[in-house]
């Protein structure tokens, strides 16, 4: 199965959870997910402060999760600011992570208190955060996408050759 994201047409890509790529490493497979929060080239992107706050909260959620901490290799923002990447151990499909990613976005949309790792000594740009807008963006993604995922929110549209 060809899983590279190179051939997808971003102009018709919707919001959702997509398998971006799979990499074979020594003893198994790593799956990179494209967690797409904005329709590329059609919707306003998130600002960098929101992307940064999501990065801190998403990393905290997965790295402290009793089951998923061990499976989580990386989470981070897309440079285009339309979504996040998450890399997990295992040969996975979107259905395998749909529940945990919705839990993560519920956690972020309801987060209160001090943002994790937001002290100057723990972050490269500690003033560049926006928790309130992050919560709004995460709730919107849950309500409009994650709570009603369809096939087209989990399978990439293929580029016409």
- Residues of this chain that interact with Zn ion (CB under 5 A) are 123
Closest distance to Zn ion from the beta carbon of 48 (Å): 11
Kindly tell me which of 73 and 123 has the beta carbon lying closer to Zn ion.
123
Buried b (16+ CB within 10 A) or exposed e, 70-92: ebbeebebbeebbbbebbbbeeb
Measured distance CA(44)–CA(87) in Å, rounded:
25
Closest distance to Zn ion from the beta carbon of 56 (Å): 6
Residue number with the smallest Cβ distance to Zn ion: 123
Residues 66/128/124/76 CA torsion (nearest 10 deg): 40
For the stretch 124-129, contacts whose Cβ atoms lie closer than 8 Å and that sit 24 or more positions apart, written own/partner, are 125/52, 128/48, 128/49, 128/52, 129/49, 129/52, 129/53, 129/56
Closest distance to Zn ion from the beta carbon of 110 (Å): 21
Closest distance to Zn ion from the beta carbon of 147 (Å): 28
Kindly tell me which of 64 and 95 has the beta carbon lying closer to Zn ion.
64
DSSP-assigned beta bridge partners for residue 23: 30
């Amino acid at each position: 199965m060809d899983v590279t994201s190179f051939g997808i047409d971003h102009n018709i890509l919707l919001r959702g959870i997509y398998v971006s790529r799979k990499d074979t490493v020594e003893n198994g497979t790593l799956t990179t997910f494209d967690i797409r929060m904005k329709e590329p080239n059609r919707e306003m992107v998130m600002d960098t402060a929101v992307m940064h706050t999501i990065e801190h909260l998403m990393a905290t959620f997965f790295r402290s999760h009793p089951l998923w901490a061990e499976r989580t290799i990386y989470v981070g923002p897309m440079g285009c600011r339309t979504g996040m990447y998450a890399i997990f151990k295992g040969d996975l499909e979107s259905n395998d992570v749909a529940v945990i990613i919705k839990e993560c976005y519920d956690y972020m949309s309801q987060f209160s208190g001090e943002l994790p790792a937001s002290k100057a000594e723990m972050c490269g740009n500690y003033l560049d955060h926006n928790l309130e807008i992050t919560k709004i963006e995460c709730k919107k993604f849950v309500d409009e996408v994650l709570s009603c995922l369809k096939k087209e929110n989990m399978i990439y549209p293929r580029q016409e050759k």
